[in-house]
Structure 1
Amino acid sequence: MSLESKIMEALKEAMKAKDTIALDSLRAIKSAILLAKTEAKAGDTISEDEEIKLLQRLVKQRKESADLYQKQGREDLAAPELAQAEIISKFLPEQLSEEKVEALIKEIVARVGASSMKDMGKVMGEASKELSGKADGKLIASIVKKVLS
């Protein structure tokens, strides 16, 4: 089942349950997918990798907004953003644990032959390709720094 059909099913369920936060989240995903499809390069379909990147971007936007609201003391606005991020995250592949990410990065460091922070670019390039959709970019970067230093 494609992401779009999963979203449509979840949208119907949210409508029946009258769950406004889920509705807002799912409509945002649907809108983003439609926008991605209408771009000149995309044609009629988007790849699974593009879907994952799109969902990650939506989750990141929600979390950043919630963080901003919390810094301003607006918990009433932060809570729905975090709830939406949680709902959107359900459609992402399961994220790897920090320990698994660290183990994979150590393998990449050994494979690439990196020895110092000068090699961070090489390691990040490989790690980003390998862990795309499975781990957050900030987590990958912090672990690469930790392993190389």
Structure 2
Amino acid sequence: MAIKDKIMADLKQAMKDKEQDKLRVLRSLKSKLLEREISERKGGEGELSDEQTIEVLMKAVKQRKESIEQFEKGDRNDLADAEKDEVEIINSYLPEMLSEEEVRDIAKEKIEELGAEDISDMGQVMGVLMQELKGKAEGSVVSKVVKEELS
């Protein structure tokens, strides 16, 4: 079952079960997915691939993590906790992300392959790695690992 189909099925189930928090998150995701689908259409109907759906979900997680950070700075732990719950719900639809060590191993390989020697080669390494790890690792983790390896 495609990720988008699973989200839609869970949306219906959340309505039946009256799970308001989950329902709010899933409706938000549905909206974001439909927006992306419309922007991707070329002359008629268009369906999002799982890869495109994952991109939308990862963007939603990133936005919520930024909100959590801001809420915690503003001493609004109640709002931060609500955002953390939303992140958990969204993460349940994402594939398992690579660990930092797995990212490090792949990064070391690419750095050696590209002949990168110092931090000035970071852009080149990041470009190649992000293409390879799209949907498998968070950009912030990849960036951190590459910086550490090139320093």
- Tell me which interval the TM-score lies in, with the shorter structure as reference length: over 0.9
Which residue of the partner structure matches residue 140 of structure 1? 142
- Structure 1 Cα separation of the partners of residues 89 and 114 of structure 2: 37
| Residue 34 of structure 1 pairs with residue 40 of structure 2 | no
TM-score by length of 2: 0.92
Identity of aligned residues (%): 42
Contact 1:24 1:84 in 2 (8 A): no
| Residue 12 of structure 1 pairs with residue 47 of structure 2 | no
Three-state SS of the structure 1 residue aligned to 2:97 is coil
TM-score by length of 1: 0.93
Q: AA paired with 2:131? A: K
Q: AA paired with 1:19? A: E
Residues 116 and 87 of structure 1: is their aligned pair in 2 closer, same or farther, counting only changes over 3 Å? same
Contact 2:114 2:125 in 1 (8 A): yes
Root-mean-square deviation over aligned CA pairs: 1.4
Which residue of the partner structure matches residue 2 of structure 1? 2
- 1:72 counterpart (53, 71, 74): 74
Point out the more displaced range, 41-50 or 75-84.
41-50
Within-5 A mapping of 1:61-140: 61-140=63-142
Q: Deviations over 1:44-99 (max 9, x none)?
A: 21222221111001011111112111111111111111101110111111101111
**Which aligned segments of 4 or more residues in structure 1 are displaced greater than 6 angstroms?**
none
Point out the more displaced range, 106-115 or 47-56.
47-56
- Structure 2 Cα separation of the partners of residues 75 and 120 of structure 1: 36
Q: Which runs of 5+ in 2 are unaligned?
A: none
Q: AA paired with 2:122? A: M
Residues 7 and 62 of structure 1: is their aligned pair in 2 closer, same or farther, counting only changes over 3 Å? same
Contact 2:11 2:23 in 1 (8 A): yes
- Structure 1 Cα separation of the partners of residues 91 and 40 of structure 2: 27
Shift of 1:121: 1.1
Residues 100 and 40 of structure 1: is their aligned pair in 2 closer, same or farther, counting only changes over 3 Å? closer
Contact 2:15 2:23 in 1 (8 A): yes
| Residue 23 of structure 1 pairs with residue 44 of structure 2 | no
Contact 2:40 2:46 in 1 (8 A): no
